[in-house]
């Protein structure tokens, strides 16, 4: 009996010590994730700790990430017993993306599975991965049957007050402005993604979630309980349609909790949100064709009611060599020389492909037409069959304004049905990307950002756009395509104060697989040859992306490669002084000369200054950006 007691005590001590030493390290030995127990015991409350190991130093990146779930039948938080941890294994998957910031992707990281059980012997696993560009983890209920409600998720990130942060107040449209704060003194609900800069100034991280599916709701971050802890929070009762708490069926896995980490460039260039999401459900993808589109809403809010306006924007697309034109809301009310069928016939006759807008139909108070053609499976099948006959290539669906489980199902139902008819899709008035563009590659882009449309809504964007435009590349656009509808030289209802060089650069700085150029026809037709030619050829998908320089809210210099050619966009937000940007070309191939076309700000904001020169990997030039200015560049190899 005494011997058995000694063995049992030794077993408990071993379990406790092992639990306190469970960790997983990234393949490049840069990040370490450790499992910790609040009570320094084998049973209790658990959390993760993320350390930076760079330069042989070990310091806390995120000192504490609370773990736990509350399920309708029982608690998986306070009295969790650690059972074991698998040995770390390498996840190594290579895949190709049809669109986004890069074409060749790698999902490569080290994974460890942590096994727990609660006092009722119910099982909970936590799957943790350490990547070269971040850390991800998710929950798993491995048992084979049962239907339950998730009452709360207890994941919470403890962020030291020494950490700078860029956060957007939560709103169901995800169209707010980011605020830069030095601490957590503002307490409220926050949108994803959330950007942080640790006190060493060289290390950054972005918190988000990925691989959300029908089995859960989208979440947000909240620091209303403890100001320094940003808790993962399920939708509130009053936030859109449906029940706020998700219902799950076992076995079940949560979305990934994603922390992208590294230098600012490494965070911007990361594809981790897509990497951890489910692979494509499609085998035939030849019909998916990203591109550039003309768009009439920005300059004429009711333009699609007018056949002549629709044909003018189709002509613009043909003239500029853009593949698409979008027929926005009210196309079912078209008059002044023709109806929808007439317009589509004309669009096809000039070699342009039509896209069409739809109301989600989920809110009775949003009456923009057409309203009810997407709402049910039967509606969609009938409508998609018509669109196939009419030769329509894609749809824009608007007004979701909910992140509950029922709405997540609705998004994915639209994507599933559209794929059967080979129709591309993009969402407006919607949630921020969660990795769906990998799983559903016919999903081209999302709004979920305060874009140029807001020049119609009031004077606010006129003043805030320069800084706002310089935050988006470091936050929202990192996690997926963003339909900002950029590049406007004329004015909408409210003027912009960004320079022509700044606006031209947005075609490169902002990534969207379906890029809608928002200006009226004369805005592009009146451009000088160099910027007009640039916009005729700028791609909407990229093989490689590099952040050359920048700082959130201040300035951005982005380089993107398509084939052998490079495009660069640079924008400045300083309203008081010009910025001289030193532009190095060390990202170019060794031993190759390139022709550079540089289209920069002229003497004042509506003028361009264009230069041509030969550069190579060793070259360096200075480019002057006006106070709210910018520049664009095209670099092609000399054969």
What CATH number has the domain bearing residue 34?
2.70.98.10
Of residues 264, 275, 198, 258, the one with CA closest to residue 474: 264
Task: Give yes or no: residues 32 and 166 share one domain.
Answer: yes
Q: Which residues contact 108 (CB under 8 A, 6 or more apart)?
A: 27, 90, 91, 92, 93, 131, 132
Task: Give yes or no: residues 421 and 320 share one domain.
Answer: yes
Of 415, 448, 481, the one marking the end of a domain is 448
Of residues 619, 620, 445, 464, the one with CA closest to residue 515: 445
Distance CA 124, CA 304 (A): 53
Class of residue 71 by CB neighbours under 10 A (exposed 0-12, middle 13-18, buried 19+): buried
Task: Give yes or no: residues 379 and 519 share one domain.
Answer: no
What is the total residue count of the chain? 639
Task: Give yes or no: residues 255 and 296 share one domain.
Answer: no
Q: Per the domain annotation, does 478 fall within a domain?
A: no
Q: What is the pLDDT of residue 117?
A: 98
Task: Give yes or no: residues 429 and 520 share one domain.
Answer: no
Q: Which residues contact 176 (CB under 8 A, 6 or more apart)?
A: 168, 169, 191, 450
What CATH number has the domain bearing residue 331?
3.20.20.70
Task: Give yes or no: residues 246 and 104 share one domain.
Answer: yes
Task: Give yes or no: residues 528 and 603 share one domain.
Answer: yes
Task: Give yes or no: residues 263 and 392 share one domain.
Answer: no
Pairing of strands 291-295, 324-327: parallel
Domain encompassing residue 511: 504-639
Task: Give yes or no: residues 228 and 312 share one domain.
Answer: no
Q: What pLDDT digit, counting tens, does each position of 324-378 carry?
A: 999 999 999 999 999 999 999 999 999 999 999 999 999 999 999 999 999 999 9
Pairing of strands 424-427, 394-398: parallel
Q: Per the domain annotation, does 454 fall within a domain?
A: no
Q: Is the dihedral of CA 267, 60, 223, 550 positive or negative?
A: negative
Q: What is the pLDDT of residue 20?
A: 55
Please, what is the angle between helix 500-509 and helix 460-469, to 10°?
50
Distance CA 487, CA 502 (A): 8
> Can you list the residues of the chain whose pLDDT is less than 50?
1-18
Q: Per the domain annotation, does 607 fall within a domain?
A: yes
Of 430, 448, 466, the one marking the end of a domain is 448
What CATH number has the domain bearing residue 609?
2.60.40.1180
Q: What is the pLDDT of residue 576?
A: 85
The vertex-442 CA angle with 440 and 350, nearest 5°, equals: 180
Q: Per the domain annotation, does 326 fall within a domain?
A: yes
Task: Give yes or no: residues 112 and 220 share one domain.
Answer: yes
Across the beta sheet with 544-551, the strand order is 544-551, 555-562, 565-572, 630-637, 594-601, 608-615
Q: Per the domain annotation, does 187 fall within a domain?
A: yes
Domain tally, the chain = 3
Instruction: Give yes or no for a contact between 108 and 62, defined as CB atoms under 8 angstroms apart.
Output: no
Task: Give yes or no: residues 240 and 385 share one domain.
Answer: no
Q: Per the domain annotation, does 120 fall within a domain?
A: yes
Q: What is the pLDDT of residue 14?
A: 38
Task: Give yes or no: residues 297 and 240 share one domain.
Answer: no
Instruction: Give yes or no for a contact between 108 and 27, defined as CB atoms under 8 angstroms apart.
Output: yes
Of residues 391, 322, 381, the one with CA closest to residue 356: 391
Instruction: Give yes or no for a contact between 193 and 210, defined as CB atoms under 8 angstroms apart.
Output: no
């Amino acid at each position: 009996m005494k011997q058995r007691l000694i063995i049992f005590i030794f077993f408990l001590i071993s379990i406790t010590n092992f639990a306190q030493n469970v960790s997983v390290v990234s393949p490049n030995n840069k990040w370490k994730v450790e499992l910790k127990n609040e009570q320094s015991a084998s049973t209790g409350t658990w959390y993760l700790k993320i350390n930076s190991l760079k330069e042989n130093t070990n310091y806390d990146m995120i000192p504490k990430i609370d773990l736990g779930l509350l399920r309708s039948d029982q608690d998986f938080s306070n009295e969790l017993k650690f059972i074991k941890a698998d040995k770390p294994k390498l996840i190594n998957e290579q895949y190709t993306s049809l669109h986004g910031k890069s074409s060749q992707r790698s999902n490569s990281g080290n994974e460890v599975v942590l096994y727990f059980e609660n006092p009722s012997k119910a099982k909970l696993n936590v799957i943790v991965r350490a990547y070269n560009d971040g850390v991800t983890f998710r929950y798993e209920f491995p048992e084979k049957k049962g239907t339950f409600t998730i009452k709360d998720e207890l994941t919470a990130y403890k962020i030291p007050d020494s950490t700078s942060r860029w956060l957007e107040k939560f709103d169901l449209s995800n169209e707010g402005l980011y605020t830069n704060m030095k601490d957590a003194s503002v307490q409220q609900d926050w949108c994803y993604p959330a950007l942080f800069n640790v006190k060493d100034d060289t290390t950054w991280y972005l918190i988000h979630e990925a691989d959300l599916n029908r089995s859960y709701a989208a979440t947000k971050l909240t620091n209303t309980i403890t100001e320094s802890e940003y808790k993962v929070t399920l939708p509130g009762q009053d936030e859109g349609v449906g029940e706020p708490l998700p219902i799950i069926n076992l076995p079940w896995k949560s979305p990934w909790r994603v922390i992208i980490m590294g230098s600012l460039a490494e965070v911007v260039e990361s594809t981790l949100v897509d990497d951890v999401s489910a692979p494509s459900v499609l085998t035939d993808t030849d019909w998916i064709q990203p591109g550039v589109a003309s768009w009439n809403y920005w300059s004429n809010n009711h333009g699609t009611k007018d056949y002549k306006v629709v044909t003018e924007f189709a002509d613009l697309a043909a003239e500029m060599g853009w593949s698409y034109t979008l027929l926005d809301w009210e196309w079912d009310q078209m008059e002044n020389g023709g109806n929808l069928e007439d317009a589509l016939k004309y669009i096809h006759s000039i070699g342009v492909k039509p896209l069409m807008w739809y109301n989600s139909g989920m809110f009775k108070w949003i009456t923009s037409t057409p309203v009810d053609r997407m709402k049910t499976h039967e509606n969609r099948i009938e409508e998609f069959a018509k669109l196939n006959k009419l030769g329509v290539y894609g749809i824009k669906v608007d007004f979701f304004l909910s992140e509950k489980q029922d709405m997540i199902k609705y998004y994915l139902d639209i994507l599933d049905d559209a794929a059967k008819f080979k129709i591309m899709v993009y969402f407006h008035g919607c949630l921020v990307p969660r990795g769906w563009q990998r799983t559903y590659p016919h999903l081209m882009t999302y709004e979920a950002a305060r874009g140029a449309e807001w020049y119609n809504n009031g004077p606010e964007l006129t003043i805030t756009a320069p800084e706002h435009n310089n935050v988006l590349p470091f936050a929202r656009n990192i996690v997926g395509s963003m339909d900002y509808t950029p590049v406007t030289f004329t004015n909408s209802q409210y003027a912009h104060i960004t320079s022509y060089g700044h606006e031209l650069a947005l075609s490169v700085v902002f990534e969207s697989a379906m890029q809608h150029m928002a200006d009226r026809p004369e805005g592009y037709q009146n451009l000088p040859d160099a910027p007009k030619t640039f916009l005729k050829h700028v791609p909407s998908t990229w093989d490689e992306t590099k952040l050359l320089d920048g700082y959130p809210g201040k300035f951005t210099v982005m380089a993107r490669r398509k084939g052998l050619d490079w495009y660069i966009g640079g924008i400045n937000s300083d309203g008081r002084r010009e910025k001289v940007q030193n532009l190095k070309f060390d990202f170019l191939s060794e031993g190759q000369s390139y022709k550079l076309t540089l289209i920069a700000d002229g003497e004042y904001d509506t003028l361009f200054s264009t230069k041509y020169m030969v550069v190579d990997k060793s070259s360096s030039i200075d480019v002057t950006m006006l106070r709210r200015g910018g520049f664009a560049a095209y670099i092609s190899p000399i054969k």
